[in-house]
Structure 1
Amino acid sequence: MKVKRYVVNALPEALPMIRSELGIDAVILNTKEIRVGGFLGMFGKKKTEVIAAVETGSANNSSSSSKAKPPARTQTAVGARPNAMPQASPKPVVPAAPSPAAASVFDAVLSHAAEVKQARAAATATEVHELPKISPAAAYGARTAAPSEVPVAVAPEVLAQDVRKPLLTEDHLLAEIRDMKQWIVRMSKQQQQEARPAAIQALQDKLEDQEVDQQWIDQLIEQVEAEMNEAKQHGIAIAADDDTAYVWGCARRILIGWMRKFEANQISRDTQVIHFVGPTGVGKTTSIAKLAAEQTLKAGRKVGFITSDTYRIAAVDQLRTYATILNVPLEVVFSPAEVTRAFKQLEGRELIFMDTAGRNFRNELYVSEVNSLLQSGSHSMTYLVLSLTGKFSDMSTVAGNFAKYGIDHVLFTKQDETHACGAILNLALEHGLKPTYVACGQTVPDDIAPFQAASYVEQLLGASDDK
């Protein structure tokens, strides 16, 4: 018996090779899936190992004449009785020539394989007889068209399993290449981080703890490392003991430069209307009361309130309580048509604070609805109120929806309820939002302060580990 092993992409690809090398009487003994190549056991290509065999006499007889000489009469077996009748000689086995139908089936299969080979130039034969891909459906269709005339014996369950197995397409190859590239990038980045000085790694850990987005962390560290390299090129020696202080000083200076351009002007004497918008529960009403008390008690301005927050229970009563304490008039509106009436009632006031209903402003429909209540003009401002206790992904979505309407001022609340304040940096750099005030408690009017880049960076970085 002659046995041969083939390693191919799919089982049907081995059929033409088996026929040409072993003959039409060949039988597939075993098939199994293996992996070839790769690196350290990874990224190996999936292949199919096919074991085929043929009787030696059958392989030779397939090319010989149809008339074969009868074999010599067999001798009596050892130990047989002398008077036993000799066994009759077996009749010579004459292999049948392939029928025209079987030949046409294999010709169709080989023709299809040639077409696929031309379309996929990358598929080349290797030392282990890797063959160009052939459609399993075509091979299976050819087999079912003439099952009695297919000269290669293939188990039906094996062929059906191979038909169900999808071929490796170009999209799969591109996906594997992308995954490999991402893995290499991650490994390279990890090695770079491990090679960084301890001070740089401590800075990265601090910014990650403050929930600063990774892209801004990488950009900051690149600038810090660039300044350190430039200092070394100019002959400035940095002692190991001063390494952490130097890194923190560079980061502080760079961050202040980033945030200083986002410092917004505070409430000026020219401002006549300030709108407050934002999600539910972020503290819009309390922030209005704090700023109104500041403008009334410190700046001596006449202030008025307008509220459209009629969705939340007791929201109007909460603002009316603040209005009574500050001796400030309050107007309630239920629709955009009543806004003009409310402003006319408060036309004698120097500064009007307008409270809006908190909604799910991840929905752009609600954003456009509240935007219809806002007054546009050079003497009006709109503050987007966000809580620092919220998730940055939600804050970014809300900020992006309001940014479409030109709202670029933000007031942050609940700073005292979280240790992380990296969202202020993220929103400023990502959406261009200008921080105006930062609130850190419930006391009116004390627990609110204008945003200052220097004080914010001090809070963001804190003290270095060596201090």
Structure 2
Amino acid sequence: MQVKKFEARTMKEALEMVKAELGPDAIILSARDNNRSYGLVGDGSVEITAAVSEETLQRKKFAEARLRDEEKQKFAKSSARSQKDLIEKMVNKHLEKNKAPRAITSQRYIDIDEDPMAHAVQDTRYASEAAQVRVRNAAQRAMSVMQDQLQPARQKTAPTPVLPILTAAPPKAPASVAQATVAKAMESAEMQSLKNEIANLKQVLAHFQSIPQNFVQGHPGADFGLPYDLSFVFEKLIQAGVAPEIAADICEKAQKELPSLKLKNRSLVEGWVARRILETTKTTSAEENRDAKVHVFVGAAGSGKTTALVKMASHLVVRENKKVAILSADTFKVGASDQMRIYAQILNVPFTVIRNATDWYQIMNYMNSVDYILVDYPGLSLRNAEEGMNLKRLMPPASMKARVHLVLSTLAKDQDTTELGRRYSVLDYQDVIFTGLDESVQHGTIYNFMRRFDVPLHSFGIGTRVPEDFEFATKERVLDLLFKITQANKQEQQVL
């Protein structure tokens, strides 16, 4: 799917750009008015985010390639409905022209590639049914033989009818006895053979019933009751690192809100899911960042707290020309406060160490001389309640209205980030910062944490450069990380 942003002075111009670039079937994901000036003249602008499937875009390019220059100009100026009808007409004409005759076959029509394991189950089912038929036939044959054996006995016990005296033929006792003996032996051998066959078939059936019948896996999302039409987008979210239950929740919403016929349109489903991700993603606003004067950075060791603090301090000093003070409450790790002191000297900003809660009352006297105060706290796992209480005692007083940022790494497992979020909930953090985006290939952990704890995303650390590799979180950035939109566009440009 192609997702692009278009910026123009008016909404009409932006829509014309979308139609010219992506075609009449493009889906509008979002539209907003930009407060910043457009170009050099200082006018306002409109920004539209649109998406279109690869197949639809190729159909548009195919139709445009077969038009003359004059026809292309008329095509560009025509309405979206006219463009759509012309594209459909040209594509259908090309398909009918190159359509090869199909041979009539007696085999059933297959919509999708069949799973070889499904054939295995079907063959096994047929083998089971055949075995049952064989048992049934063998049992019938055995009953028939037993009835034939019992028939002579019934004739012996029946009353002998009175017959007229006739001239009897000479007795042939030896031949009759021999035939009866041979017949009885044959019947006994046949009975024994049938018994053995029935016993063998019973063993086959017992063995088949002992084999688990769920060895064939369904399509992705089948365990959550999702239809096959949504399996592709469910699998795409899982590959991006989104938790299965969260991906299933998104697909269930799509199944409820989209008609069943539209679920077969992959581009439409993918566009709906992209819009759903944008709607459910929460980020901190610029007003919330400006209103908070004290920013506290907490998190486990190795999560990148110190780097995130330095990047944010550099951003405020270099790009926004703000007065910043850096504080360190990390007295547990050897050299942690000395390292932060060096960073403060490089930025030429005030620095001090917080050793106990009473130090905050002295710092409150200097708050009016700075715009922001950034505090680095020790990296603790909070395995027990005592660590949490000690960390909570060093927190700023409630009157300072500090904003607590929980810093997590995208390299951590999804389960580990969830556990850290639960442990650090005793500090009442307001948002979360994710670092190491450049080192991770799956970024679904970001969306999972935001959905599970219902906290907004503050900012991202995307590299080692200061302050270039620091950016405030946006909804579009989260969507880009999950769908790899920017990465796909870069690969296409390299190919071209």
One-letter code aligned to 1:253: R
Q: Contact (CA 8 Å) 1:331, 1:342: kept in 2 or not?
A: no
Q: Contact (CA 8 Å) 1:273, 1:352: kept in 2 or not?
A: yes
CA RMSD of aligned residues (A): 3.4
How far did residue 405 of structure 1 move?
3.8
Q: Indicate the residue corresponding to 1:370 in structure 2.
A: 391
Q: Indicate the residue corresponding to 1:429 in structure 2.
A: 451
How far did residue 316 of structure 1 move?
1.6
3-state DSSP of counterpart to 1:336: coil
**Structure 1 residues 194, 374: closer, same or farther in 2, change over 3 A?**
closer
- Show structure 2 runs of 5+ residues with no match: 1-127, 129-212
Q: Contact (CA 8 Å) 1:273, 1:351: kept in 2 or not?
A: yes
Choose from 311, 333, 344 the match for 1:323.
344
CA distance in 1, matches of 2:458, 2:251: 27
**Structure 1 residues 388, 379: closer, same or farther in 2, change over 3 A?**
same
* Superposition pairs of residues 376-395 of structure 1, within 5 angstroms: 376-377=398-399, 379-395=401-417
| TM-score, scaled to structure 2 | 0.50
Q: Indicate the residue corresponding to 1:81 in structure 2.
A: none
Choose from 316, 320, 331 the match for 1:295.
316
Choose from 453, 456, 460 the match for 2:478.
456
Report percent identity of matched pairs: 23
How far did residue 194 of structure 1 move?
12
* Superposition pairs of residues 8-407 of structure 1, within 5 angstroms: 192=222, 200-229=230-259, 232=261, 243-259=265-281, 262-266=282-286, 268-344=289-365, 348-375=369-396, 376-377=398-399, 379-407=401-429
How far did residue 198 of structure 1 move?
6.6
3-state DSSP of counterpart to 1:305: strand
Aligned length in residues: 277
- Could you report, residue by residue, the CA deviation over 1:56-93 in whole angstroms, capped at 9, with x for unpaired residues? xxxxxxxxxxxxxxxxxxxxxxxxxxxxxxxxxxxxxx
| TM-score, scaled to structure 1 | 0.53
**Structure 1 residues 270, 219: closer, same or farther in 2, change over 3 A?**
closer
CA distance in 1, matches of 2:352, 2:427: 25
Q: Contact (CA 8 Å) 2:283, 2:456: kept in 1 or not?
A: yes
How far did residue 190 of structure 1 move?
7.4
- Show structure 1 runs of 5+ residues with no match: 1-39, 41-182
How far did residue 197 of structure 1 move?
7.0
3-state DSSP of counterpart to 1:331: strand
How far did residue 372 of structure 1 move?
1.8
Larger Rg belongs to: 1
How far did residue 211 of structure 1 move?
2.1
CA distance in 2, matches of 1:194, 1:334: 51
CA distance in 1, matches of 2:323, 2:420: 32
CA distance in 2, matches of 1:192, 1:418: 28
**Structure 1 residues 397, 197: closer, same or farther in 2, change over 3 A?**
closer
One-letter code aligned to 2:284: A
CA distance in 2, matches of 1:329, 1:294: 16
How far did residue 205 of structure 1 move?
2.0
CA distance in 1, matches of 2:453, 2:292: 24
Q: Contact (CA 8 Å) 1:362, 1:397: kept in 2 or not?
A: no
**Structure 1 residues 268, 255: closer, same or farther in 2, change over 3 A?**
closer
